Structure 1
């Protein structure tokens, strides 16, 4: 039975997110227990003849030395060394399951259901824990749950890789380049090189932080390490073809095209040709997770009969990227045709909840470099109004709201991601500023969730860092969650990890509705929504900006899931796409933050021949607002804009 309230709530200390840069030592203001994690690295390095800097560097790129409470990553990796045990996990793929019309365009018929593909064999790169068990004699349970055993397992793997290459067990970190590259698990030489180069950049610059379980770990900077990258050639890895791939040179990337071809019954798959940004301005970059593994998901996007596609896929273990759709073209990825036509979609290997609580540092870094490159190329602002999750994309019309996706979910670390983007999230304005940005400390913010185990969907999730905060009807911990009439027309919001009906997430900006003690209320889905935000340990920071409220004399105004043109803008032969309001309204006296301004636009693309495609632009002006967990739109003629 699914629950609308937990049997218990996990209490968590919350502090302002800030994080440490790669080269910073751990802050003296953070409390740390004795350095047993540091000692574990020292002991394991000595036992297996691995330079300690190499062991620390590899672990940092995999996990930033965290244990993640013994829970697996998005690619089934455990512990500080990310030893992978994917044989223990199973999961579907939301592109295969057909839970959403990825096109999000009712101007075209809904796609026919597709059978799920046969499960693929799990690659060796996702089963390194087995090898570590053989090399160390430790049990699988020890390697998963005991950080010291996990670190010894990683050291044993590195030494084994070094011996297999015929390389010496040298004290010189540079001699270990080949073993580090192999540790990535990459099948491509470029991906292995990217991983190894990132490790060695960390060794050169140094790093220090307090881990998620309070361990102070430091890697002292070692500038001038001479990388013996000739060992890379001995790995026998394939050379991926970049071809037409649009990626920065600092990432591993290849071109794996999605098909564009005719199908029976005048249909075609699986994206639309366009000429962006000449015809349509790219406004968004949409962050997804695959709810599946990399290789099967890439196979799915290569099937023209599956009405879903995306521009890029990012692999977890090493950050390797595959591009499938040119950025000038429209991928069917977000479930909202207006957003699709103006966005680039990036899928990340992993699962929102089923055992997957964290994403690797390698994947975060590679993805952030790609997004930074795309944002600069297309002038997309690096903020949470433009860099959005799939879970922030609105339903197109009232009937589609319930079926919209929830990925990448509450375990995607938006603060860390924006730090890597070079745009760290921070506050602006004073303590009485009338709008705020959600910004909890990810590691210490551990809200209660259930539903992380598909085999036992009612079981509590283990406490873990999260980017989200719960929103309540009153300023107290035991108050009910606020309701979402679109997601739950007749019921309550749930504490399920899959239900964001009553959650606000890192980087999102909201207008303040009230304050009381250590609690702050924001306007959210037409109601006051309270979250705990004490001055000593805030979960939000002041954030100046524009807000909208209904024009004087209007009791309420409608909100929309897309910014389509007025009827008069459509030429003969192009069916009018109704400007259909969602089930929510913005009432007088309420305020919502503005993310961007748009003029009504519709991209008509229903044939294989792109010469028949057409962009219809009108005069209707809209504001994108942060109305709930998802962004939505209001007509400019209905509201007044002011600054906070």
Structure 2
């Protein structure tokens, strides 16, 4: 079908979302636990009765924070513990922000000075806001020790109920049995400092009460919230919260999220240097084809300080973990510097999510997932972006633009981002489209039960806490004890891949599609980076399912196909005054007889934007695709 290939189809191809979906209720067949609908459900009932909080309110708040999971007592990305996400974030602070890690040039273009995203002086974290210290207050209200609130699920639920009851009292409201009377307290529980975010959070809680929920938690227990479609919250209570009104002028967000404008600066400084994004006129100048999901590796306050630094880098939106609040920084028509690949940057929107990939359990709140998904749906509709893993990328799926940059690319949001749940919220769940012996598979492990060993979360070589993962590990042969496949781009010397949480060399992620090379018992081999790669895929606990999709292979007489990390035009397409950009292949080769899923057909384009004065910016388009 083709004589050349772009790395995007190779690494993250998925023209349609096509993999098995876990049951909505009951215990998954690979969880190893028996359903228990008693203990955890009783804990919610007891806490609700003790503090006079309607049980449906307590259950819905907990679902929006954690989906009722306890995560084995490990904290979330912002230091939240347990089903009620009681926050104690002192240990969750990082010493350096995300875009200061590694050697990646966030802009990813050689037409001007590289921008590695290290400002002259990194802002230090300020005193923690109240929303990151709710566990401390819950301890005072409940009389329970901070240690018990962190480690005991029942105590954690009691602490959350105590916070809700206190908020109700402070608002001068009675401990009513009517869930609708608790709207103000629920909005307060969000921790938001602006009215729009607090009310969006409360609206989500009451949507959950109306629709009801039922699922099996990560501890194997069934929890149910019966639907109450007639609940009528008193939304006027939000006026009494005394919260600020966020600045929304300039924002490009759906009405279903709370969004404020925190602009990134477009400033000139030094000799020919400027920051921290590029002026453009998208989609008139170039189409917007991708959305890149990042995590910030910094707290919210530090994240906002960094994106407002003209000497730093930029992205379009940040999403807060505790309540899903969104801040927009760069107009969508302009190009942010975030992905480390200029071809991708020029045609993408960058979304940063507050969090830490390895700190230490890396679970994200349901509130964050939901508002992020609403924003992505809005952007996809606006620009005609397909909702699939070829176009909705993790930063760890963005290829290095040249061979020398592969090793410096970033690894977020990492193996703990729940792509399966994210795509369910996008309305595109990964469901099978072919039988179990299909020639194409979509990666789709059952997130909660799939817990491969990773190291390096706290210290190099030290095992990370057990945690659900959407990524499968790739071996050279069928068998857990066989070596992992090698990534010659990451390790040109031929060293083996590792199980370090930041090592992407032998990892395939949920939603990505691959051509099947071979099957042997419980193991499936796929073609991956020019080699055969095996992953465990037992029939009773599948980690991938059959799918349909176009595949490419070297044409007749070709020994291999070169692979590229960017799709720049042919040399003859460049006008005078615009330097020709090299179309240099990556170290990978697609060999004769191998097959790879086709993710997209892309134009040869280059956005020339080397200077602060945007009048000289041009988009070069070639004839090749």
Could you say which TM-score interval applies, normalised by the shorter chain? Answer: over 0.9
Q: Is the 8 A contact 1:402 1:487 kept in 2?
A: yes
Q: Is the 8 A contact 1:96 1:116 kept in 2?
A: no
Q: Is the 8 A contact 1:68 1:357 kept in 2?
A: no
1:107 partnered with 2:105:
no
Cα RMSD between the aligned structures?
1.5
1:196-215 equivalence runs, <5 A: 196-215=202-221
Match of 1:322 among 322, 327, 335: 327
| Aligned residue number for residue 190 of structure 1 | 196
| Aligned residue number for residue 59 of structure 2 | 56
Q: 3-state SS of the aligned residue for 1:581?
A: coil
CA positional deviation for 1:457: 3.0
Distance, in Å, in 1 between the alignment partners of 2:379 and 2:405 is: 29
1:237-248 equivalence runs, <5 A: 237-248=243-254
Match of 1:69 among 49, 67, 72: 72
Distance, in Å, in 2 between the alignment partners of 1:168 and 1:78 is: 28
CA positional deviation for 1:139: 1.8
Distance, in Å, in 2 between the alignment partners of 1:595 and 1:442 is: 24
| Aligned residue number for residue 295 of structure 1 | 301
1:502 partnered with 2:502:
no
1:385 partnered with 2:382:
no
| Aligned residue number for residue 16 of structure 2 | none
1:42 partnered with 2:42:
no
Match of 1:276 among 266, 279, 282: 282
1:251-301 superposed Cα distances (whole Å, 9 cap, x missing partner): 000111111121110211111111111111111000000011112111111
Q: Is the 8 A contact 2:102 2:408 kept in 1?
A: no
| Aligned residue number for residue 138 of structure 1 | 144
Return closer, same or farther for 1:538/1:98 CA change in 2, 3 Å cut-off: closer
Distance, in Å, in 2 between the alignment partners of 1:408 and 1:393 is: 12
Match of 2:340 among 335, 340, 363: 335
| Aligned residue number for residue 227 of structure 2 | 221
Q: Is the 8 A contact 2:361 2:465 kept in 1?
A: no
1:143-178 superposed Cα distances (whole Å, 9 cap, x missing partner): 111110100000011111111111111111111111
Match of 1:345 among 345, 350, 364: 350
Q: Is the 8 A contact 1:37 1:215 kept in 2?
A: yes
Distance, in Å, in 2 between the alignment partners of 1:419 and 1:369 is: 11
CA positional deviation for 1:232: 1.3
| Aligned residue number for residue 478 of structure 2 | 475
CA positional deviation for 1:108: 1.3
1:409-454 superposed Cα distances (whole Å, 9 cap, x missing partner): 001000000000001111212222211000010011000101111x
Q: 3-state SS of the aligned residue for 1:598?
A: coil
| Aligned residue number for residue 125 of structure 1 | 131
| Aligned residue number for residue 546 of structure 1 | 550
Distance, in Å, in 2 between the alignment partners of 1:88 and 1:233 is: 34
1:560-595 superposed Cα distances (whole Å, 9 cap, x missing partner): 110000000000111000001111111111111111
Aligned residues: 600
| Aligned residue number for residue 463 of structure 1 | 466
1:412-451 equivalence runs, <5 A: 412-451=417-456
| Aligned residue number for residue 615 of structure 1 | 619
1:306-317 equivalence runs, <5 A: 306=312, 308-317=313-322
| Aligned residue number for residue 12 of structure 1 | none
1:75-116 superposed Cα distances (whole Å, 9 cap, x missing partner): 111110000010122213122457421100012122375332
351-360 or 370-379, larger mean C-alpha shift? 351-360
CA positional deviation for 1:537: 1.6
Q: Is the 8 A contact 2:266 2:275 kept in 1?
A: yes
Match of 2:412 among 402, 407, 432: 407
Q: Is the 8 A contact 1:162 1:168 kept in 2?
A: yes
Q: 3-state SS of the aligned residue for 2:599?
A: strand
Distance, in Å, in 2 between the alignment partners of 1:17 and 1:117 is: 44
Q: 3-state SS of the aligned residue for 1:582?
A: coil
| Aligned residue number for residue 371 of structure 2 | 366
256-265 or 36-45, larger mean C-alpha shift? 256-265
CA positional deviation for 1:499: 0.8
CA positional deviation for 1:19: 4.2
Return closer, same or farther for 1:371/1:461 CA change in 2, 3 Å cut-off: same
Give the TM-score, by structure 2 length: 0.94
Q: Is the 8 A contact 1:273 1:330 kept in 2?
A: yes
Distance, in Å, in 1 between the alignment partners of 2:489 and 2:556 is: 27
Give the TM-score, by structure 1 length: 0.91
1:519 partnered with 2:551:
no
1:146-157 equivalence runs, <5 A: 146-157=152-163
Q: Is the 8 A contact 1:600 1:618 kept in 2?
A: yes
Q: Is the 8 A contact 2:27 2:220 kept in 1?
A: no
Q: Is the 8 A contact 1:57 1:203 kept in 2?
A: yes
| Aligned residue number for residue 8 of structure 2 | none
CA positional deviation for 1:185: 0.6
| Aligned residue number for residue 4 of structure 1 | none
Q: Is the 8 A contact 2:107 2:115 kept in 1?
A: no
